[in-house]
A and B are shown apart, each in its own frame.
Chain A
């Protein structure tokens, strides 16, 4: 462990430091769309306790994890410094054990013999509306359900389970967050978290197709709503807008292996915010995927670069919505498989401009068994890969600070504090190895980490793994296109070199760029490689020397001058007005 990382564990205790971070409450129009039956607004105080206790009693009977994790904690404190929100805030209620105790003390007071008999002596406290509003609602939304504490707990106690239960109890009394309910509402209305309507979704796919065509010369299709397809692909919807390079990379992989794939506008989102909200909504969102896959006759469902999507699928889909008539996998597993089979032509050197490190998304590493594939894909597409300290990677990875439904503006300060451990680990490899690309194969990471890196002033680019795949992957026909493009560029450059040039230092004029460069080397001691810093094409010269087209009759000419002569002669347009008809050839 590096010195900087060691330091993050020296946390100054600041009780109450987390109290100021409160997520906005939901609105009736979002609350009413939830599949979970939740009140449209918070219940009156006199009803809250009874309803909440009823829900808590149900939950501990429905889930072994809840009952067990309420019972067996010994408060040894092994989890305290494993929580990024504690490291960031120093609030002891923001530790896994401290947060869970908020629920345990109520459980003890109402559901255990010792709690009923001895009360505070055994850490029991009866539920009040204030506990719900001021403790649970605040602190259960300062947990990103990353499950890091569970790795270090001697009994494997999983704070994510406690948080999920706490939030379900809060839901039952109408204390839900606007962010999460809004996102889930978008899924029910538009099929995806961002609320992209069908036409915009399709338009964006076309736009990306064009972009691929422009850069590779290859017609790569991004199919949407095909009637039948072997593969249903679910992107995080942000990949259609902000992380388009990831989507492009995925489309290229499918194209390269000749896959019969499609996306669906009914289920156009991999992520499942039900995971942060309730089992019922998680199930309902997964059901959209299952229904779509059945309708398509898809044999394989592939989830895009998204951590929570992968947990909701990997750990819950079969159990909640099964049996499933299809196989499912993560896009990283798919791409890794294709690379192993030799189906992708990859040129690693195309990524030589980056030194990559990997942020393991929590739900890949700890919930999804997806640790080696991410590394295999990265190392297959680029030469420079550096691991962060082993204490913060793989199963011990730290959350980006924005997971678990906390990626919302009003708690930005908390998010930045929660990002401290990851930022520190990145900073170490940036300083030691010149890392300049932080691979983060998760849509939440891609939204959160750039802000964290900026906040802590760490100069790295954040991007997906398929962004790198996209750069290294060479499609059929792409090299010919690139060669042609390069030849054209060189011809244009040669044409530019043939025009008269001016030395920027002494204003001397030369017939060609080469002559100017020679002069610069001789008289100003400037090497030819740096010649472009002093020598410039004579103003207007390049345009005059370039081929031109007459706008009136489409005749083509070798130079602008010839075109102007033609314009004067054939169209009676004076040379002064020549620019109104003659244009440089495109």
Chain B
């Protein structure tokens, strides 16, 4: 294993971690600190904190707003399957980080779903990519960055699948590497059996993680700050009770 492999395994992960964490925190801190001069909810349904929370959660969990228009429902399906698959895959990968020996029960439980998600996720990804090329209006509004992030995720998925099914590294060694990184112990690459398929996958994942704070992928944090959804009017702002007047 060469210098490059050593960099990807022993150095880059720390850079990635710092860029990702600092970047994400910075972006969220900016949104957090910006003032809202006036409440601008889009009605209906936000007459209390509770209803605002419900609305945001409905948008986060079931993509409620996207469902509203019949013409958007294929997009809804593609987007929802993609995001849920992505989440399941992330959860499955916790098996390489958690637990001294055996993985925690709930991570083990999600393994099957995570594998299924990895096999499925390419379909919504390709759909999301192709629709940008096929529909003239979407093609018009798409920037190179929109294609880039989809291709990047696709390459992560495919390299992961390749490493899992065609050039499988020794799984125990993968976990050993991750645990070592978490303990700030450099790994001697001569003592572990890692292949180039794994290294490529690991590298691409890190590129994606570093890209996130600078990109539109930050929508995952932004949605929790969206004034039209989080703002609400309590009963005190304006009353319908004439008795008080």
Contacts and interface: CB of A to CB of B under 8 A. Distances in A.
Interface string A51-64: 00000000011111
B43 A337 contact: no
B214 A114 contact: yes
Interface stretch (B10-18, B114-122, B194-202, B234-242): B234-242
Contact of A158 (B42, B72, B240): B42
Contacts of A153: 65
B27 interface: yes
A318 B228 contact: no
Interface stretch (B85-93, B141-149, B162-170, B183-191): B141-149
Contact of B216 (A1, A72, A334): A72
B37 interface: yes
Contacts, number: 200
A279 B37 contact: yes
Nearest to B226: A156
B127 interface: no
A113 B19 CA distance: 13
B238 A98 contact: no
Given A63-B37, A82-B69, A95-B141, A156 B229 contact: yes
Interface in A95-123: 95, 97-98, 101, 112-114, 118, 120-123
B40 A329 contact: no
Interface stretch (A22-30, A239-247, A361-369, A538-546): A361-369
A333 interface: yes
Contacts of A277: none
Given A114-B215, A150-B228, A156-B226, A67 B43 contact: no
B75 interface: yes
Contacts of A481: none
A409 interface: no
B225 interface: yes
B42 A155 contact: no
Given A78-B72, A396-B68, A320 B37 contact: yes
Nearest to A153: B65
Interface in B1-46: 27, 30-31, 34-44
Given A1-B70, A68-B34, A151 B65 contact: yes
Nearest to A298: B245
A315 B39 contact: yes
Nearest to B230: A156
Given A64-B31, A156-B65, A328 B238 contact: yes
B222 interface: yes
Contact of A121 (B30, B38, B145, B223): B145
B47 A68 contact: no
A396 B135 CA distance: 24
A214 interface: no
Contacts of B75: 76-78
A300 B218 CA distance: 45
B79 interface: yes
Contact of B219 (A74, A78, A118): A74
Given A63-B37, A78-B72, A154 B244 contact: no
Interface in A43-95: 60-65, 67-69, 71-78, 80-82, 92, 95
B144 A123 contact: yes
Contacts of B141: 75, 77, 80, 92, 95, 97-98, 101
Nearest to A364: B43
Contacts of B70: 1, 391
A471 B39 CA distance: 37
A369 B31 contact: no
Interface string A463-485: 00000000000000000000000
B66 interface: yes
A575 interface: no
B38 A327 contact: no
Contacts of A510: none
B34 A61 contact: yes
Interface in B122-168: 135-138, 140-146, 148
A333 B238 CA distance: 11
A113 B143 contact: no
Contacts of B31: 64, 67-68, 71
B143 A78 contact: no
A344 interface: no
A78 B137 contact: no
Nearest to A282: B38
A147 interface: yes
16 contacts: A64-B36, A68-B227, A72-B219, A78-B75, A92-B137, A97-B141, A114-B214, A150-B42, A152-B68, A155-B229, A156-B59, A299-B245, A319-B39, A327-B244, A365-B44, A395-B44
Nearest 3 Cβ contacts at the A-B interface: A123-B143, A72-B222, A319-B38
Given A73-B219, A155-B59, A395-B42, 17 more contacts: A62-B37, A71-B218, A74-B216, A78-B69, A78-B72, A80-B137, A122-B143, A152-B66, A152-B69, A153-B65, A314-B233, A315-B38, A320-B37, A334-B242, A369-B233, A371-B43, A395-B44
Interface of B: 27, 30-31, 34-44, 47, 59, 63, 65-66, 68-72, 75, 79, 135-138, 140-146, 148, 214-216, 218-219, 222-223, 225-229, 233, 237-240, 242, 244-245
